Structure 1
Amino acid sequence: MNYNKIEIQFLGAAGTVTGSKYLVTAFGKKILIDCGLFQGLKELRKLNWQPLAVSAITIDIVLLTHAHLDHAGYLPLLVKYGFSGTINSTSPTLQIAEIILKDSAKIQEEDAMRANKFRYSKHKPALPLYGLSEVEKTLPLFQPQLLNEWININEHIRYRFRYNGHIIGATFIELQLGDKTLVFSGDIGREIDPLLFPPDRPEKANILFVEATYGNRLHPAEPAINSLEILINRCMARNGTIIIPSFSVERTQLLMYLFWQLKKTNKIPDIPIYMDSPMGRNVLEVFHRNTDWHKLSTDECSEMCNTIKRIKSVDETFALAEDNTPKIIIAGSGMAAGGRVLTYFEKYLGDENATILLVGFQAEGTRGRALLEGATEIKMRGKFYEVKAHIENIEGLSGHADQNGLIDWMSKLQSKPDKIFIVHSEADGAKGLKKKMQETLGWSSYIPRLNEILHI
């Protein structure tokens, strides 16, 4: 097959920050890079219910950069629609993917059950996007691969995974098609991270797909732990509870680490800190099993975990929500899209002494984004809740590289790529990185549209 016949279709994360899916057709194979759910705005979430623009049966293999829901959450649907190939990634990514997919399915089933019970859905009956049975059919297709080792698909195609920071197991992917190299950035981590090592950088890319989540922004120069210390002490002065919606993978573990450090040095009051995320607890086990992927020793993991009280049952969640004593609660999910944090929101959004602390990127259309933008009421589980709690935000905790970090990640490329596609970003981030790339590197780039097909 001639190189000019390579086809790329942007099935997600094109013009938006969610739903990552890039289909590459070459040398008789269809390769799907990432398989994520759309999140955030209703018009995006509705895309999850629509058939893919390509038949799942025709896809040969899926390669995952990492396990976040917007990169791996569509897998059970892909299998439901007929995909029967392998799903390949690093071992930690597939361990995390199993946890996330089971959690996602359980939440969807519970939400559908609650919507039917209380009749607040216009769908009769409300159904989950997928359930645990679809997840169980997906897991046997997982095939773990090692870092930095080339794996052949056929005589013309090979790929490898390279360390990328961001979350445990995360990589960028180098895909060789004949004599051409395509690089898919996935989500790029930060050079300085308390838990994870700096990301590797690609040396060659004929075609580059680069994320731009923070393409128009810079992270604060102040270390996140210092900002967290100041903010926690300010909130504690109100003698109220602090609720932290947190991503269960990496962000929750990072917060636990920072709180452990602040408590050890007596820089915050000695009040109880809770982690309420079944998925977060399971992810901690992945950290324990994969110490070569992060900076913490086994002993440090154990000491950190002993500092934070971990909630297990839903009954414990309800009891903790009714406890009026000051405390800090880290609970999933990170954008307050679902999960146990909603139980705490129902109790504390209307409490003038309480604080909702946002600690990561909040996509358009999410409750977290609405709070960040000053919403006076939030809809949850069919009801509206008035917002009286203090809303705070710390940007320095993001696991994404900022604009300078993205440019730095590209700095080892030996020559200018033939094509650069800016993906996984809202419009401002994509435009910001496009402009910065032109100014600093002299490189032109293209922002693709959803479902656009390009022949290269």
Structure 2
Amino acid sequence: MRIKFIGAAGTVTGSKTLVESNGIRILIDCGLFQGIKPLRELNWDLLPVSASTIDLVLLTHGHLDHCGWLPRLVNQGFRGKIYCTSPTIEITKLIMVDSAKIQEEDAKKANEENCSKHEIAEPLYTVEQAKKVFPFLTVVPPETLVELENEIKVKFSPAGHIIGACSISLQLEGKNLVFSGDIGRDNDVLLYPPIKPKKADLVFLESTYGDRLHPDTDPKLELENYINETFKKDGTVIIPSFAVERAQSIMFLLWELKKEARIPDIPYIVDSPMGVGAFEVFFNNTKWHKLSLPDCQAMSKMFIINSDYEETLAAINNKGAKVVIAASGMITGGRVLSYLENYIGIPETTIIIVGYQAEGTRGRKLIEGAKSIKIFGNYYKVRAKIVEINGLSAHGDQADLLSWISELEQKPHRIFLVHGEHPAADELRIKIRETYGINCSIPFMGQEFEF
């Protein structure tokens, strides 16, 4: 059996792990690289094995850095099944089409404004190519052992993080390989706690927040304070957020604050081409989260959903006080860039960062104190107030990750720490060794192990 780390090794994005066993090739996740340019350029490369030789894909969840490279995989010849939960299928379709639209819009804008280094800017993939992935998506029910082929079995166990997200237990050659995917928090606003594995010979554990603990603060109170402070200045609050789940968590807190008359009666806008679709995922999958259907419907009525770009322009041109939740979460693309072009230079603006910001992303640069930021080839001075609410992160922190492996009945042979930058992974490695006495490895990109 061979394990090859194609992505999310030494970095937080581009999740791809290849498992080869008895002539079968299995790809765990198929995500886009985000952040610094050398990583983003990897999205244009071929895989180290031919896409047509991969037999199946197991998808932990529908975030772009876990599913966003699927259109490239299919375009390069993959014809197997892509297994995931039902909510993940819905989210993946939304995310891929949204990603394609953003890439097409960005390429069009770059060509019109002549701000690309290439003679002709092209999208990584088109909406049409994204939709070609749909027929390969195959539902797997949670907490059910499913036999795939050649005596290979798989079980998906809910992991929190976003709706439909699961850890994956892959059974083959008498061994049990457990892939954590992204682990959510035990006290998440909307989602249930992750299910902890009981048995594993090899564990592939994310380490995004492996070197830190989330602060013991009240994110609802922080939101209230930032919104009211900005309202007093007649300013705009911009919250870059992933359109699925994290946006709904923020919306839930805003809805509660509004019911309690703790925030002003101003426009609350969700700006995303897939905003309506994201709501439908929550309406269709109430067993996966804590909100009832009536609460989902009541919450949705508070918000203005902008799907068309003309609606975005109208919101931008309305300079009155407002709160805008706009994709993308790491400010790597999407509608949020149009808002920042117009508002980041205004001192009355508040930009609230609510999730992990990968190395090299605009979000990371902002929280590190960048004085200017590049958008569509132009630099804009940062005069807006930049704040961070760590309590809204969808990722478990170091304590959550340690807790997730606490119920293993026997020590696994090894834990591979993936989906994290090296300092975070190394700190988690030390903690796991001290707490459980388990050997950990931190693989590099392209590294291969044989068992």
TM-score by length of 2: 0.98
2:221 is matched with which residue: 222, 226, 229? 226
**What is residue 345 of structure 1 aligned with on the other side?**
340
Query: In structure 2, how many angstroms separate the alpha carbons of the residues matched to 1:12 and 1:40?
Result: 13
Q: Indicate the SS of the match to 1:396.
A: helix
Q: Indicate the SS of the match to 2:392.
A: coil
**What is residue 249 of structure 1 aligned with on the other side?**
244
Cα pair 2:226 2:350 within 8 Å, conserved: no
- Tell me which moved more, 38-47 or 147-156: 147-156
1:99 is matched with which residue: 94, 98, 107? 94
**What is residue 399 of structure 2 aligned with on the other side?**
404
**What is residue 381 of structure 2 aligned with on the other side?**
386
Which AA in structure 1 matches 2:79?
S
Cα pair 1:233 1:269 within 8 Å, conserved: yes
Query: In structure 1, how many angstroms separate the alpha carbons of the residues matched to 2:100 and 2:309?
Result: 17
**What is residue 3 of structure 1 aligned with on the other side?**
none
Q: How far has the Cα of 1:383 moved from its partner?
A: 1.2
Cα pair 2:93 2:131 within 8 Å, conserved: no
**What is residue 122 of structure 2 aligned with on the other side?**
127
- Tell me which moved more, 322-331 or 40-49: 322-331
Matched, 1:283 2:278: yes
Q: How far has the Cα of 1:271 moved from its partner?
A: 2.2
Per-residue CA deviation, residues 392-448 of structure 1 (Å, 9 max, x unaligned), is 111110011100000000011001110110000011210111111112212220000
Runs of 4+ in structure 1 deviating by more than 3 angstroms, as ranges, are: none
1:448 is matched with which residue: 438, 443, 449? 443
Q: Indicate the SS of the match to 2:27.
A: strand
Query: In structure 2, how many angstroms separate the alpha carbons of the residues matched to 1:140 and 1:40?
Result: 30
Query: In structure 2, how many angstroms separate the alpha carbons of the residues matched to 1:164 and 1:330?
Result: 25
Q: Indicate the SS of the match to 1:307.
A: coil
Query: In structure 2, how many angstroms separate the alpha carbons of the residues matched to 1:272 and 1:336?
Result: 22
Query: In structure 2, how many angstroms separate the alpha carbons of the residues matched to 1:207 and 1:229?
Result: 44
The percent identity for this pair of structures is 51
Matched, 1:78 2:78: no
2:209 is matched with which residue: 202, 209, 214? 214
Cα pair 1:27 1:157 within 8 Å, conserved: no
Per-residue CA deviation, residues 104-163 of structure 1 (Å, 9 max, x unaligned), is 111111111111122111111111111112112211111111011111122431101111
- Tell me which moved more, 103-112 or 199-208: 103-112
Query: In structure 2, how many angstroms separate the alpha carbons of the residues matched to 1:170 and 1:328?
Result: 28
Query: In structure 2, how many angstroms separate the alpha carbons of the residues matched to 1:222 and 1:112?
Result: 41
Which AA in structure 1 matches 2:283?
H
Q: How far has the Cα of 1:223 moved from its partner?
A: 2.8
Aligned residues: 451
Query: In structure 2, how many angstroms separate the alpha carbons of the residues matched to 1:252 and 1:28?
Result: 42
Matched, 1:22 2:20: no
1:418 is matched with which residue: 413, 418, 438? 413
Q: Indicate the SS of the match to 1:209.
A: strand
Query: In structure 2, how many angstroms separate the alpha carbons of the residues matched to 1:123 and 1:203?
Result: 51
Cα pair 1:213 1:430 within 8 Å, conserved: yes
Q: How far has the Cα of 1:342 moved from its partner?
A: 1.1
| C-alpha RMSD of the superposition | 1.1
1:305 is matched with which residue: 276, 297, 300? 300
Cα pair 2:275 2:307 within 8 Å, conserved: no
After the TM superposition, which residues 27-426 of structure 1 pair with which residues of structure 2 at under 5 Å, given as runs?
Answer: 27-426=22-421
Query: In structure 2, how many angstroms separate the alpha carbons of the residues matched to 1:228 and 1:432?
Result: 30
Cα pair 2:275 2:305 within 8 Å, conserved: no
Per-residue CA deviation, residues 6-37 of structure 1 (Å, 9 max, x unaligned), is 10000100111000000000122111000001
Cα pair 1:190 1:199 within 8 Å, conserved: yes
Which AA in structure 2 matches 1:76?
P
Query: In structure 2, how many angstroms separate the alpha carbons of the residues matched to 1:399 and 1:325?
Result: 31
Q: How far has the Cα of 1:236 moved from its partner?
A: 2.7
